[in-house]
A = this chain, B = another copy of it.
Amino acid sequence: MGMIGGGTGSFIGDVHRKAVAIDGMIELVCGAFSSSAEKSIASGKALLLPEERCYGTYAEMILKEAALPEEERMDFVAIVTPNHMHFEPAKMALEHGFHVVCDKPITLTLEEALALKKVVEQSGKRFALTHNYTGNSLVKQARAMVAKGDLGTIRKVQIQYLQGWLSTAVETTNNKQAAWRVDPKRSGIGGALGDIGTHAENLMEYITGLKIEELAADLGRFGDGRILDDDGNLLLRLENGAKGTLSISQIALGEENNLAIKVYGTKGSLEWHQENPNKLTTHWLDEPMKVYTPNGNGLYPECLQVSRIPAGHPEGYLEAFATIYKNFANHLLADLNGEIIENPDYPTAADGLRGVQFIYAAVASDNNNAAWTKM
């Protein structure tokens, strides 16, 4: 794996590195960790990489790695830059024969997302988007329960992804994470929408297997001078007639990383909270509430195969993240071995496109006073 972005001090670059390390399937072999060659090299050294594989630019990395013998060069790139720096490196990597793992949202604009999806298809390379929350074992259980019909027909969903860290003007206090997220040039047309809204949208569609048909979005820009949304309340209509709400915020003071979902069907319902991910609560027409835990009783294989440690030993954010990488790595291995994996279980460019469509639909709806907008 070669990394683009994620230099020393980066939050998400470190997360990717820790996550891939857990399962021992992937090794970081090179990187262009910063647009400054100097910083990139310093970061690479701190990561114990050989200096010759700490590149000054992603372009340099892609070209030089492509020139290495096959068994030496990186197998794929991981792109962990702000949104405006996803498309070009991803395209270039794919076109030079490298698989790609990319942070969400997939690109800065809808045009880019459409274009990148095509590039992926034409390249024949694998592409994974790190919607990491779908890597939780109990999210797999939830998805399996819906898919097998345990919950009956889905009627109502509630999704929220609430944070409070932008409650004050932290973007003016030398907080790099905040600065680029409130900047349309680096984030795109969505603020919270892109940063966390796409996770919420993706998680909901992943668990329910249902697509959002149309949405009505009322966005907030509560922080002084903010151009992008830092809050949003959405009504959802799903393809099967189900309805729901999706609420996001980065000014929900006190909320840390409160991604949560409830799904109500005609036979059962379920509830999952990211902040306590080792618990899946379910209700049933004629039975008491049942609570599932990773590696506990009553789970489907889709869930069991994801847990790494026995029941009662909590897995968290990094482990879920790692599962995305593990499934991606297994796909690459299968390709190498000439095996076919029917439905490789990690988010793809198609999911990424939906995410950007979600951002665009929500912004369009908001611009139109929360009118219903097709996604």
Give the B-binding residues of A (Cβ under 8 A).
11, 14-15, 17-18, 21-24, 47-48, 155-156, 158, 160, 163-165, 167-168, 216, 218, 220, 222, 231, 233, 235-237, 243-245, 247, 249, 251-258, 262, 264-269, 274-278, 282-293, 296-298, 308-319, 369-370, 372
Kindly list chain B residues whose C-beta atoms are within 8 Å of the C-beta of A21. Answer: 21-22, 24
Kindly list chain B residues whose C-beta atoms are within 8 Å of the C-beta of A293. Answer: 256, 288-289
Kindly list chain B residues whose C-beta atoms are within 8 Å of the C-beta of A160. Answer: 158
Among A164, A256, A258, A262, max chain B CB count under 10 A is at A256
Is A370's CB under 8 angstroms from B372's CB?
yes
- Given A252-B262, A316-B316, 16 other A-B residues pairs in contact with their CB atoms under 8 A: A155-B222, A155-B231, A158-B247, A233-B236, A253-B266, A254-B284, A256-B296, A257-B312, A286-B298, A288-B290, A288-B293, A288-B297, A290-B290, A309-B317, A314-B316, A369-B372
Is A253's CB under 8 angstroms from B268's CB?
yes
By beta carbon, the residue of chain B nearest A244 is: B233
Is B370's CB under 8 angstroms from A15's CB?
no
Kindly list chain B residues whose C-beta atoms are within 8 Å of the C-beta of A319. Answer: 316, 318
In whole Å, how far is A101's beta carbon from the nearest beta carbon of chain B?
18
Is A220's CB under 8 angstroms from B156's CB?
yes
Is A313's CB under 8 angstroms from B311's CB?
no
